[in-house]
Amino acid sequence: MKTLIVYYGYGNHTRMIANMIKEELGCDILEIKPKIPYSADYQTVVDETEDNLETRETPEIEDINIDLGNYDKIILGTPVWWYTITPPIRTFLTTYDLSGKIVIPFATNAGWLGSTFEEIKELCKGKVENELSIKFTTEHSENKLLTSNKEITDWINKIK
């Protein structure tokens, strides 16, 4: 089985976990990027995306330039914004057909997972399994991981 990590990372949390997985599994990685980047000011992004759960925004994303047909397993990473997936991940899931693939999601969050995995299952045409919630401190300026490295490593070993 060939594996691809697909993730969107506003800050460093999701990117850090995606790179940790890549290092351990030696698989390919793809960062989803919106065509119009979000503000570098965290509070502006919070204010602009507060209704993410209701609007289910799907911003344009940059072309992925990768053939998803070459992969059987997709590890999907997203931060949690207002109790669900980020708009760029929503765009990815509604644009690309993951039928016949195993999709393994992880979500970086401050403890408020909400309907993140439910929305992934709703939008994804692949088989979604082995999801993992990875918690960080609630203070955005900090970068402290609360989920243990052992728990993340055990999960990576499980999904190999």
pLDDT tens per residue, range 22-50: 999 999 999 999 999 998 888 888 788 87
For tokens 């039928």, the residue is 99
* Mean pLDDT estimate for the chain: 92
Total structural domains within the chain: 1
Query: What percent of the chain is modeled with pLDDT above 70?
Result: 96
Domain with 125 in it: 3-159
pLDDT of 89 higher than 90: yes
**pLDDT of 99-131, one tens digit each?**
999 999 999 998 889 999 999 999 998 899 999
For tokens 């089985």, the residue is 1
Q: Which residues contact 40 (CB under 8 A, 6 or more apart)?
A: none
pLDDT at 53: 67
Give 117's Cβ-side CA count (13 Å radius).
18
The Cα–Cα gap between 72 and 53 comes to: 29
- Is residue 20 helix, strand or coil? helix
Q: Which structure tokens are listed for 71?
A: 């992969």
Q: What angle (nearest 5°) sits at the alpha carbon of residue 67, between those of residues 100 and 8? A: 85
Residue 27: C-alpha distances to residues 52, 78, 112, 152, 156 (Å): 31, 18, 29, 17, 12
Q: Residue 85 belongs to a domain with what CATH number?
A: 3.40.50.360
Q: Is residue 134 within 8 Å of 147, Cβ to Cβ?
A: yes
pLDDT at 104: 98
pTM of the model: 0.93
pLDDT at 150: 96
